[in-house]
Structure 1
C-alpha cells in the first residue's frame, strides 16, 4: 500500500494538538473535567490510585491513569490546560500514527476524524477519546498476533475509560471468515434483534468477568433516566446504511487491494452490529462501539476509495467530500456553537 502526504498528516496533527490541547472552556465536558482536576488532587492520594490500578477496593470512581495524570500535573503547580494538552498529544499522535500506517489515503481519513470525531471525542469526551486511541493503536499487535502487548494496551486503555473493555474480543474477531453474504446477515440479524434488548443479559456476564466498577457502570446505564432510551432515527441511520452498502458492495476490492483489509472490515462490521444491538439504549449505542466505529470511517471507507477504480473512485470521493461539507454545516449550527467551537466563542491559552 502506497503511503502519501505524510508531511501534511503531521502538520495537521500538530495543529489539532494545539487547537484541542490548549483550548479554554471549550467542549461539552470541559467544566466537569476542570472540576475533577481540582477534586482529584485534593481528595485522592497516590495510594488510592495504586489500589485502583491493581483492582483492590478503593473509593476512586474515575479511571486510575486519568486520575494519576491530573494529580501529577496539579502537584507540579501547572494549570488545567496542561491536562488537556497531554491528553491531546497522546490521543492525536496514536490515532494519526495508526491512520498513516494503515490507510492509503490518510488525508481523507483525517477529514472523517476532523468532522466530527475531533470535537466529540478529543475535545469533549476526552477519557473515551484517549481510550479509543489506545485501542486503535493496539491494531498493530492484533496484526502481529502479539497477545501480550495487545492485553497491555487494553489494560492501559481501561486506565482511561471503562468502555475499552468492549474492544477486548477484537484480537479474535479479526480471524472470523467473512464475505458479503455473512456481512449482510450479521447486520440484518443485529437489527432484528435490537428490540429484544439482548444487552440486558450482559449484566450478569460483566459482574462475573470484570472488575466491580466496570460491571457497576454497565448495569447503572441499563435504565438510565437520561441516556437509557432508544436512539432517535435520523441522519445518522442514513449515513450508516450508506456505509454498510459500500462495505458490502466493495468488499472484494478491499480484500484484494488493501493490506490487512479483512481485519479492518471485521472490526468495522462488529462495530455496526454492536450499534444495532444496543440501539434501544442511547449511551450504549454511542459509547460502546466507539473503537470499532473508528475502523468504519477512518480505516475502511478511505481504503475502499483507494481499492476501487476509475468512475467508482470518483463517485465515492465526491460522495465522502459532500458528506464532510454537510457535516461541517450541520455540526456548526448545533453542537459546534453549544460547545464553544465557533470563532466568536473559541478561546486558546496561546492567544
Structure 2
C-alpha cells in the first residue's frame, strides 16, 4: 500500500501532537510550533526532485525562460505591454535569475517554497487563535496540490492571503499593490480583487445558506459564460484570454464530478453556519474571514459545471474557509463542542493522509518509494 514519505509522516505527527498541546494544554498559540513546521515543509517541498504533478513542466520551462527570454521581455510583461510571454512575469524573473547565476532548478522550488510558506504562515499566525491546528488544514492536502503542484497559483494565493492585513486596515493602495504582485505569479489572483469590498457585506447564518443555494441552483445555467465580454473589457489581455480559453477546455471544461469532495464541503458548510454566532462573538475579524469563505464556496458552486474554474478560481477564498474560519471556530467554541470539532477534524486529516497517499500522493511521487530530495 502506497504511503507518504517519512518526511511527510514526521510533519503530520508533529502537527497532530503540537496542535493538541496548543488547543487543550496551553490554550494559546505558540510560535515555535509554526517555525518548526515551516522549516520542515520548506525542506520537504523546496528541495524535492521530480516530485509533484506539474514538476516536469516547470523544470522544462526553467531553461527555456533563460534561453529565450530577456529581462526586457519580463519588464514588458510586468507593464502589460505587448509581448510574447505566456507565463506570469515574477515567476519568469525568479527562474531567469536562478538560471543566470548558475544554480540548479531545485533552487527555484526552494525560493518559491520560502516565499509561499512565509506569507501564508505569517498570515495564519496573526489571524488564527490556534495556528498549529490551522496548519493541519494547510498540510492535508493543500500543501501538496498548491505549493508542490500548481506552484504559481500557490504563490498568487499566498500574496492574496497576505493582503488580508490591508483589507482589515482598509488600505486600498497597498491592497491593490498586493493584487498586482499576485497577478505576477498567477492570473487567477484577479478573482480576489473584490475581496476588499466583500468583507463589508452584512451576513448571518440564513444569508449564508441562501447565498450558497442560489449559487448551486445557478450552476446548470452556466452564467459564467457572460463573463467573457466583461473580462475582455476590464482585465489585462492575458487574463481575459485565459478565461475564454478555459471556458470550453477539452479536458477541464466539464462538470465537477460528485463525490467525496461534496460530502466534505457540506460538512464544512454545516460547521460554518451552525457556529457562526460563536465565531463572530469570540474571534477578531471573523466576519471578514467568513465573508471571504462564503464567497469562495459560492464561486465553487457557481462554476461547478466547469471543473477548472470551480477548482482554480475560488482558491484564495477557500484558504479562508479552512485555515482561518474552521480552525478559529475550534477556538470560539468551548468544552465538549471544542473537543468534538477538534477530534472530528483530526479524524478527517488522518483519513485524508491515507486516502491522498494511495491516490494523488502516489501519482505525484510523494510516497516512500518514489519521493526524492536534493538534501539526501
Corresponding residue of 2:272: 247
Would you say 1:89 and 2:114 are equivalent positions?
yes
Deviation string, structure 1 residues 285-339 (Cα, Å, up to 9, x no partner): 0000000000000000010011011111111111100100010011000000110
Corresponding residue of 2:315: 290
* The one of 301, 304, 311 aligned to 1:279: 304
* The one of 110, 135, 151 aligned to 2:176: 151
What does residue range 1-351 of structure 1 map to in structure 2 within 5 Å?
A: 3-351=28-376
SS where residue 359 of structure 2 aligns? helix
Query: 1 CA distance for matches of 2:186 and 2:286?
Result: 27
Query: 2 CA distance for matches of 1:301 and 1:209?
Result: 34
Query: 2 CA distance for matches of 1:99 and 1:113?
Result: 10
Query: 2 CA distance for matches of 1:320 and 1:14?
Result: 24
Query: 2 CA distance for matches of 1:15 and 1:153?
Result: 27
SS where residue 203 of structure 2 aligns? coil
Corresponding residue of 2:22: none
Q: CA deviation at 1:211?
A: 0.8
Q: CA deviation at 1:118?
A: 0.7
Deviation string, structure 1 residues 48-101 (Cα, Å, up to 9, x no partner): 111100000000000001001101110111100010000000000111101111
RMSD: 0.7
Gaps of 5+ in 1: none
Q: CA deviation at 1:5?
A: 1.9
Gaps of 5+ in 2: 1-26
Deviation string, structure 1 residues 259-293 (Cα, Å, up to 9, x no partner): 00000000000000000000000000000000000
Q: Is the 8 A contact 1:3 1:103 kept in 2?
A: no
Q: CA deviation at 1:3?
A: 4.6
Give the ranges of 4+ consecutive aligned residues of structure 1 lying more than 3 Å apart after TM superposition.
Answer: none
Q: Is the 8 A contact 1:131 1:164 kept in 2?
A: yes
Q: Is the 8 A contact 1:90 1:130 kept in 2?
A: yes
Q: CA deviation at 1:4?
A: 1.1
Corresponding residue of 2:13: none
Deviation string, structure 1 residues 193-212 (Cα, Å, up to 9, x no partner): 01011111110000000111
Query: 1 CA distance for matches of 2:39 and 2:121?
Result: 10
Query: 2 CA distance for matches of 1:306 and 1:38?
Result: 47
Query: 1 CA distance for matches of 2:371 and 2:277?
Result: 44
Q: CA deviation at 1:238?
A: 0.5
Corresponding residue of 2:18: none
SS where residue 109 of structure 1 aligns? helix
